[in-house]
Amino acid sequence: MSPGAISPAQQHAQLAFASKKAKDATAVAEGTDGLTKPLADLMGNWDTFSFAPIRESTVSRAMTRRYFADLDAHAETDIVIIGAGSCGLSAAYTLGTLRPDLRITMIEAGVAPGGGAWLGGQLLSAMVMRKPADAFLREVGVPFDDEGDHVVVKHAALFTSTVLARVLAMDNVKLFNATAVEDLITRPMEEGEGEKGGVRIAGVVTNWTLVSMHHDDQSCMDPNTVNAPVVISTTGHDGPFGAFSVKRLVSMKQLEQLQGMRGLDMQRAEDAIVKNTREIVPGLIVGGMELSEIDGANRMGPTFGAMALSGVKAAEEAIRVFDL
Ligand code: 48N
């Protein structure tokens, strides 16, 4: 396809968008090329335009009331997902869709969720996914170019922003971004439940990320907690908190050691990550690139199909564990 031409998938997406606008014809003002009437009416009238009145405390209460009600509601939750990268977001989408009855709490250390999936690789914008991961793109409605054994999303941010929008719109999913998981809540295994000295994960310990990053220069900034019977950890292999949960399992002597991510082998890496997404210790499922640190899987480099499908599998595992 020549550069600049739009693919059949993109044509389809554009036609769908245009037909939606046409259906809303009553809302569309004449001669405004498709903007809806309320917005179109503002244009050209900026001299008489002004915002409705407000008091600063009203804005403060609008934010704090909701945030602290959410914190209260999510102090006890059904499933925590640590990390809102491509794997964590795919897990949240799948869980939120399959189990609207479950309360799902996403904890993301960055102000901006999305992890490494805002760019395709070496800061280039297009994102490659190998089939059959195009099934996830179709599911969430991300247009792509079909190039045979793989597909290409024109900008990685289109994938991440679409999945993020779908997840944030779900009533049973709450994202706490700029918030780090800085420890795991544990319970000793019941008699006969597992090895002596083993633990079950029963939730996460959190703090605002900027606080978590300054424990060395401030004392006693104690954390908050979220109790949950199931935790999915998708903290990746990069960044200040990468592979957080598996490193903590080693320091808690629940894992002998990490095998460490191996060199890049695109062909092998992605199958291994998806197939090995699993419950590592009771109550804790690990997916995405964090998993490569445990198993010594190869890295796959700039292809994201395994992240999406590892997230789908992590969701499936979480439902299995939750329903036990
Ligand atoms: O994107 P990442 O880092 O992780 P994944 O597994 O979702 O996707 C990995 C993918 O981006 C790649 O690395 C690609 C495929 N490259 C592979 C290769 O070979 O190089 O997202 C992890 C998210 C980030 O947003 C972190 O901020 C967040 O997890 N995070 C945490 N959030 C809260 N508490 C923590 N302790 C924490 N640690 C990480």
Q: Is the dihedral of CA 16, 22, 27, 28 positive or negative?
A: positive
Name residues contacting ligand 1 (CB within 6 A): 82-88, 107-110, 115-117, 180-181, 234-236, 238-239, 241-242, 244, 264, 288-290, 299-301, 304, 307
The angle formed by the CA atoms of residues 164, 268 and 259, to the nearest 5 degrees, is 85
Span 169-215, pLDDT tens digits: 999 999 999 999 999 999 998 777 767 789 999 999 999 999 999 98
pLDDT score at 26:
47
pLDDT score at 85:
97
Task: Note every long-range contact of 142-150, with CB atoms under 8 Å and residues 24 or more positions apart, other chains counting.
Answer: 143/7, 143/9, 143/10, 143/12, 143/13, 144/7, 144/9, 145/1, 145/7, 145/9, 145/10, 146/7, 146/9, 150/303, 150/305
Query: Which parts of the chain sit beneath pLDDT 50?
Result: 26, 29
Atom of ligand 1 minimally distant from the CA of 291: 6
State the pTM of this model. 0.90
pLDDT score at 241:
83
Span 77-120, pLDDT tens digits: 999 999 999 999 999 999 999 999 999 999 999 999 999 999 99
